[in-house]
Amino acid sequence: MTQRLGKMATEVKGLIELKKTLKHYDTDLSVQLDDQMSLALGGVVKKAQSYVPGSSPLSNWSYRRRTEFFTNAEGKKIRKFPLYNSARVVKGIQYSGTPRRANKNGFKAVYYIINKSADGSIYETAGRKNPNGQPWVGPKGDPFDHSVSHSNNPNAGAQFIQAFGPIYQGNIESSTKRGRYMKGRLIYRAWAEDGGKANAAALIAIYNVNEQFKKKQYFNKVAK
Amino acid sequence: MSVVIDIAAQFTGKRAFQQAENAADKLGRTVKHALIGVGVTAFAQSAIKAFAENEKQLQLFKNSLQSIGFEFATNDSLAFLNSLKLQFGVTDNQLIPAYEQLLTTTRSLAASQNLTNIAMDIAARQGISVTQAADALSKAYIGNTRAIGSLGLGISKATLASGDFAAIVKEITNITKGSAAAAADTFSGKLSRLARAADTAKESIGAGLVEALMQITKSQDIEQLQTKIINFGESSAEVLTKMGKLISDNIELIKVFGAVMLAGFAITKVAAFITALQTIIKTVNVLRNSAIAAAVAQMFMLNPLGGALMAAAMIATIAGVIKSVDILTAKAEKAGETIRAVGTEQLGRGGDQGGAAKVAEGASARAARDAKKAAADQLKATKAQTKAVQDQAKLKKAQSLFDLDKVQILAALQGKLSEDEKLRLQLQFALLTDNAKEADRLSNQLAISQIKTTDLATAIAKLPPALNPFASFPQWIQDAINEINKLKFAVSTGPTTTPGSPVVPPAIISPSGAAYTPPAPINIPTMGVNPQTSLPGYRDYRAGERASINVTVQGNVISNKDLADTIRMQLLDSSASGSFSMSNRATRGD
């Protein structure tokens, strides 16, 4: 039922169908699966939440009341750089069993741990691609180009990343993603420290529920 | 943006793959339609339409070039645009207007071609049409940089403000270089390129078809061809009706003919019958095809274009007729086989020994085959039944694991139980497991046990009532009271004793009347003091040596300290009122 693919999570064929079937025909097993996934992934989520700093690593990055958008000279609405809100970051770290949209390779993540908030994602991944910050172009650069730094301070990127502290490599033995795509300070750090136990528990839970469902189906069939 | 760790995923199909599949299906359907002739008209119409549109566009393009004095460059420009179209998968609808605008603005073939390439890069990078990009470039060329600035390419304001087109182009080139090539190299880009190739092919086919139709109809132009096509549509309806009637009539004829032939042949001439029938069907087929061919030929004579299209349309009808004939042939062959079998049996009965032996052999072989088949069926049925029984047993076993009643009984049996309770549980378990023998045995045992229990209850019921252990208590208490009274009486009536003389207890008659024998006299030692007169007086004690002193304190006295404080305050009050007192042991302050 399971198969590991390059650069993907473990592929579980028919997982979406299994979830739908359980939801409609065997709610007990569906609840059991949810409970077991909660046990398997909840620990990593809690651990990741514990790594969220209580206050902003940079004093001027703290959340304060302000308008979140501004309109540029051409009348386009542009979102401002998000401010750090510790509670929002903690709330945004979750696990989920709701299938996401398929990615470009056609794979749909069914169970996943997610760092939802924009500020949380920034804290998680800052310095992953450019350890010394993005190339600096200054405020005159294209405002829609998010791959460059628009700050007045040419060293803003480096200082910003430096304040966050080290970034951790989140690879575990079973990870198929490698390199910077598995680096982070919150969920990837917790994931690496878990050492693959949560991953194994989640897959075993799916396998067990599937087996139980198959047995039930077999018995029902034979009984008929 | 959110960061995600995927735990479990499922492959649900690639959107690009689906698009490709859809495109391939569509292409396949188009080709299929074209090949089988069903969609030939639709395809031809589409191809002709594409050709016409392309022709119109080209004509406009030529006119435009002519108007600016570049008529000589038409072929070169078209070759350039065609190469771009196939290389990057961009449609003529975008390319030709863009190129036209750039050429009109720059009036230079080299510059316009170069700018077309840049426009394609911009379009690919920003996700806009080539026409829009070319429009912005054209405006920038004449000094209006607002449009190019609004594309969001990241050109510095200084460069834009300078209005230096060369500098702007240089910056744009630096930013967008290779975007079009990269986009064309993606799967989507490749699909677009394929689509452009298909469009070109379609246009060519359209051109060919139009040419062919014009040649067939000897039309001088498209308008004349259209008139002829309309005329053909009207005339072909009548011909088609005639053709349909002809075919339907022939089908009935074939059916009737076949039936007559079947009835007419004798059973003993089976082989001849079959051969004859097949020959007849073949003949009919040939005739039919000839008839259809004749009709098609007639159509060609009426209208060459109609003849060509009718030929394609008639293929489907012919296929239907052939299918009907094939069905008839198969039925006829089957009928022939049956008749042949009947014939051989009849021949056998007619006295042909060899034939009879063969029939007998055949019958025995058939019987053996039937018996074998029956045995195989029987075996199969037995296997199926065995499997069903096994499945039932498995099911029962599995169900027993989850049978809560049984589980509870087994759990209860593990605990400490009386013999009777144990029997009851075992009997219940036997009933649940359908174990009749065990249930019978246990029920008998339980009945015996119950009878025993009933006897015990009867015996208990017959027991005399239990004695009241406290029944004698009132008497004992009364006796004790009597004894106390005796003592009281003795004390109140006792003699006056003098020190040193023995005390003789008086004779006492108890309240109950029983004689009381007093014990022997006891000598009480004298203490040298008259007990009546030697009691100390109140004044003989000093303060603090009396037995108890009552002190009334207003307020709460909880601890020693409270008491001491209260006394001290009283002493101070006394001192203030003239009754001074002081105690100072340490310094002998008195």
ipTM of predicted assembly, 2 dp? 0.85
pLDDT for A90 equals 96
Nearest partner of B303 among B247, B223, B240, judged by Cα: B240
pLDDT, one tens digit per residue, over A132-191 is 999 999 988 887 788 899 899 999 999 999 999 999 887 665 555 667 888 899 999 999
Q: CA A87, CA A66: separation in Å to the nearest integer?
A: 17
> Is B7 within 8 Å of A142 when comparing Cβ atoms?
no
* Residues B23 and A118 sit within 8 Å (Cβ to Cβ): no
- pLDDT of B491 strictly over 70: yes
pLDDT for B299 equals 52
> Is B8 within 8 Å of A215 when comparing Cβ atoms?
no
Nearest partner of B430 among B415, B445, B416, B417, judged by Cα: B445
Shortest Cα distance, chain A CAs vs residue B414, angstroms = 29
Q: CA A176, CA B392: separation in Å to the nearest integer?
A: 45
Q: Which residues of B touch A (CB under 8 A)?
A: 1-17, 150, 152-154, 156-157, 391-392, 394-395, 398-399
> Is A99 within 8 Å of B10 when comparing Cβ atoms?
yes
> Is A8 within 8 Å of B152 when comparing Cβ atoms?
no
Specify the 3-state DSSP secondary structure of B464. Answer: coil
Distances (CA, A) of B587 to B12, B544, B580, B582: 108, 22, 18, 11
> Is A219 within 8 Å of B398 when comparing Cβ atoms?
yes
Q: CA B175, CA B152: separation in Å to the nearest integer?
A: 11
Compute the C-alpha angle A131/A132/A136, nearest 5°.
130
User: Which chain A positions have a beta carbon within 8 Å of B6's beta carbon?
Assistant: 8-9, 107, 109, 111-112
Name the DSSP letter for residue B516.
E
Q: Is residue A187 within 8 angstroms of chain B, CB to CB?
A: yes
Compute the C-alpha angle B44/B48/B50, nearest 5°.
120
User: Which chain B positions have a beta carbon within 8 Å of A125's beta carbon?
Assistant: 3
Bridge partners of B6?
A112
Specify the 3-state DSSP secondary structure of B510. Answer: coil
Compute the C-alpha angle A123/A128/A132, nearest 5°.
95
Q: Residue B98: enclosing H or E segment and its boundaries?
A: helix B92-106
Nearest partner of B84 among B74, B65, B99, B72, judged by Cα: B99
Give the pairing type, strands B3-11 and A10-12.
Answer: parallel
> Is B157 within 8 Å of A99 when comparing Cβ atoms?
no
Q: CA B474, CA B480: separation in Å to the nearest integer?
A: 10
* Residues B85 and B92 sit within 8 Å (Cβ to Cβ): yes
Q: CA A70, CA A17: separation in Å to the nearest integer?
A: 44
* Residues A170 and A191 sit within 8 Å (Cβ to Cβ): yes
- pLDDT of B98 strictly over 60: yes
Which among B4, B12, B395 has CB closest to A114? B4
> Is A114 within 8 Å of B2 when comparing Cβ atoms?
yes
How does residue B527 score in pLDDT terms, banded at 50, 70 and 90?
A: very low
Which of A10-24, B171-185, B525-539 is predicted with the least confidence, judged by mean pLDDT?
B525-539
Q: CA B413, CA B421: separation in Å to the nearest integer?
A: 9
Residue in the structure block whose two tokens are 């034939």: B355
Substitution target in B3, B125, B394, B400 with the highest count of A β-carbons within 10 Å is B3
The residue ranking higher by pLDDT, A127 or B418, is: A127
Bridge partners of A113?
A95, B5
> Is B11 within 8 Å of A107 when comparing Cβ atoms?
yes
pLDDT for B202 equals 64
CA B211: distance to chain centroid?
A: 57
Q: CA B224, CA B217: separation in Å to the nearest integer?
A: 9
- On whether the pTM is more than 0.80, the answer is no
Distances (CA, A) of B173 to B119, B122, B146: 10, 9, 18
Q: CA B329, CA B335: separation in Å to the nearest integer?
A: 10
Compute the C-alpha angle B184/B73/B167, nearest 5°.
60
pLDDT for B497 equals 47
Q: Tokens at residue A177, please?
A: 């993603």
Q: What is the residue-averaged pLDDT of chain A?
A: 87
pLDDT for A94 equals 94
Compute chain B's Rg from CA coordinates: 65
Single-letter residue type at B410 = L
How does residue B524 score in pLDDT terms, banded at 50, 70 and 90?
A: very low
Q: Taking a contact as any Cβ pair under 8 Å apart, which residues of chain A between 78 and 137 contact chain B? A: 92, 95, 99-100, 102, 104-118, 120-121, 124-125
User: Which chain B positions have a beta carbon within 8 Å of A222's beta carbon?
Assistant: 391-392, 394-395
Distances (CA, A) of B359 to B101, B205, B323, B345, B355: 93, 66, 36, 7, 6
DSSP state letters, A104-167:
TTSEEEEEEEEE-SHHHHHHHHTTSS-TT-SPB--TTS-TT-TTSB--SSTTHHHHHHHHH---
CB pairs A-B closer than 8 Å: 121
Minimum Cα–Cα distance from A140: chain B residue? B156
* Residues A93 and A127 sit within 8 Å (Cβ to Cβ): no
pLDDT (mean) for B321-330: 53
> Is A219 within 8 Å of B13 when comparing Cβ atoms?
no
CA terminus-to-terminus distance, chain A: 27
pLDDT for A114 equals 94
Q: Which of A23-32, B43-52, B237-246, B322-331 has the highest mean pLDDT?
A: A23-32
pLDDT for A186 equals 94
> Is B12 within 8 Å of A106 when comparing Cβ atoms?
yes
Q: Taking a contact as any Cβ pair under 8 Å apart, which residues of chain A between 28 and 67 contact chain B? A: 41
Instruction: For the beta carbon of residue A25, count every other beta carbon within 10 angstroms.
Output: 13
Nearest partner of A199 among A191, A187, A207, judged by Cα: A191
pLDDT (mean) for B144-159: 82
> Is A102 within 8 Å of B6 when comparing Cβ atoms?
no
User: Which chain A positions have a beta carbon within 8 Å of B156's beta carbon?
Assistant: 140
Substitution target in A88, A104, A121, A222 with the highest count of B β-carbons within 10 Å is A222
Nearest partner of A45 among A205, A190, A179, judged by Cα: A190
Estimate the crossing angle of helix B353-401 against helix B304-349, to 10 degrees: 110
Which of A106-120, B179-193, B369-383, B521-535 is predicted with the least confidence, judged by mean pLDDT?
B521-535
B417: which residues sit within 8 A by CB, 6+ positions away? B425
pLDDT for B504 equals 47
Which among A8, A115, A206 has CB closest to B3? A115
Bridge partners of B8?
A10, A111
- pLDDT of B449 strictly over 80: no
> Is A11 within 8 Å of B10 when comparing Cβ atoms?
yes
Single-letter residue type at B259 = A
- pLDDT of B284 strictly over 70: no
> Is B14 within 8 Å of A105 when comparing Cβ atoms?
yes
Which among A9, A170, A191 has CB closest to B9? A9
Q: What is the residue-averaged pLDDT of chain B?
A: 69
How does residue B128 score in pLDDT terms, banded at 50, 70 and 90?
A: confident
Question: Which parts of chain A have pLDDT scores under 70?
Answer: 1-9, 171-178
Q: CA B508, CA B129: separation in Å to the nearest integer?
A: 142
Residue in the structure block whose two tokens are 């008659």: B509
Q: Is residue A184 within 8 angstroms of chain B, CB to CB?
A: yes
CA atoms within 13 A on the CB side of B209: 23
Residue in the structure block whose two tokens are 């050492």: A195
Q: Pick left, alpha or beta for residue B428 (phi over 0 → left; psi -120 to 50 → alpha; otherwise beta).
A: alpha
Residue in the structure block whose two tokens are 């195989």: B376
How does residue B138 score in pLDDT terms, banded at 50, 70 and 90?
A: confident
B247: which residues sit within 8 A by CB, 6+ positions away? B288, B292, B317, B321
Shortest Cα distance, chain B CAs vs residue A39, angstroms = 14
A39: which residues sit within 8 A by CB, 6+ positions away? A201, A205
pLDDT for B342 equals 44
Which among B3, B7, B14 has CB closest to A9? B7
Nearest partner of B11 among A156, A52, A10, judged by Cα: A10
pLDDT (mean) for B460-477: 77
pLDDT, one tens digit per residue, over B182-241 is 777 776 666 666 666 667 766 666 666 666 666 666 666 666 766 766 666 666 566 666
pLDDT for B443 equals 81
